[in-house]
Chain A
Amino acid sequence: EIVLTQSPGTLSLSPGERATLSCRASQSVSSSYLAWYQQKPGQAPRLLIYGASSRATGIPDRFSGSGSGTDFTLTISRLEPEDFAVYYCQQYGTSPITFGPGTKVDIK
């Protein structure tokens, strides 16, 4: 099983600041099948990034993903009020599919 570790656990920032979230895998993620999801309280997760760096349909360009192998990053260039949420990485290339524990981005 590929274990995903996300850091930091919580990121306290102000609107307009840059957010950098990390996701590290215990072994190489197949074909960069790494996705990022955003989840707000009481809502279902929303796909942001797939294939490590491709934005999903309708996702603003302030969200970007990078990385390969075992180290991946989600960057939010300038935080908007609606971006404060929990972010999960997921690897979907190897069964069992696994999620990271999440990074909460909250308002400083």
Chain B
Amino acid sequence: EVQLLESGGGLVQPGGSLRLSCAASGLTFSSYAMNWVRQAPGKGLEWVSGISDSGGSTNYADSVRGRFTISRDNSKNTLYLQMNSVRAEDTAVYYCAKVEYGRGWDRWGQGTLVTVSS
């Protein structure tokens, strides 16, 4: 069974840094593009960043470009999101999601909460 498990969330001060991880199991991780999506409390879904299966191609939402970095370690079956210079508006549950090429995002983790506050 495919499982995605996020970790690394928590309380961070404005301007601080945090690294989120998404550990994948039950799949050939290196075969799939991956994405990070966030959801602020009581709000809708917002795409944050995506990465190709090899890690050679990345994309970012304008709201995080230059502050966040997506990466992956296919030898460890793990996706990362390095969050720098965080702001209050980055407060959200962060989900990782697996891309089934051309068929939507068919597996999501349970999410990890990031709270940016002093």
Q: Which residues of B contact A92 (CB under 8 A)?
A: 104-105
Q: Which residues of A contact B108 (CB under 8 A)?
A: 44-46
- State which of A18-26, A67-75, A76-84, A94-102 sits at the interface with chain B: A94-102
> If the complex has contacts A45-B108, A56-B104, A57-B106, are A96 and B47 also in contact, measured as CB distance less than 8 A?
yes
Q: Interface size class for chain A?
A: 20 to 34
Contact of A51 among B62, B103, B109 (CB under 8 A): B103
Q: Give Cα A76 to B47, complex, Å.
A: 26
Contact of B95 among A44, A50, A100, A102 (CB under 8 A): A44
Question: Min CB distance, B77 to chain A, in Å?
Answer: 19
Q: Is B46 engaged at the interface, CB distance under 8 Å to the other chain?
A: yes
Q: Establish whether residues A44 and B111, one from each chain, have CB atoms under 8 Å apart when the complex forms.
A: yes
Return the chain B residue nearest A48 by Cβ.
B104
Q: Give Cα A100 to B62, complex, Å.
A: 17
Q: Establish whether residues A96 and B62, one from each chain, have CB atoms under 8 Å apart when the complex forms.
A: yes
> If the complex has contacts A96-B59, A96-B61, are A51 and B44 also in contact, measured as CB distance less than 8 A?
no
Q: Establish whether residues A50 and B104, one from each chain, have CB atoms under 8 Å apart when the complex forms.
A: yes
Q: List 26 A-B contacts (CB under 8 A).
A: A33-B102, A37-B105, A44-B95, A44-B109, A44-B110, A45-B37, A47-B104, A47-B105, A50-B100, A50-B106, A51-B102, A51-B103, A56-B104, A57-B106, A90-B104, A90-B105, A92-B104, A96-B47, A96-B61, A97-B47, A97-B50, A99-B46, A99-B47, A100-B44, A102-B44, A102-B45
Q: Is A29 engaged at the interface, CB distance under 8 Å to the other chain?
A: no
Return the chain B residue nearest A102 by Cβ.
B44
Q: Give Cα A56 to B100, complex, Å.
A: 11
Question: Min CB distance, B70 to chain A, in Å?
Answer: 13
Return the chain B residue nearest A39 by Cβ.
B45
Which residues of B in the span 67-118 have a Cβ within 8 Å of any Cβ on A? 95, 97, 100, 102-106, 108-111
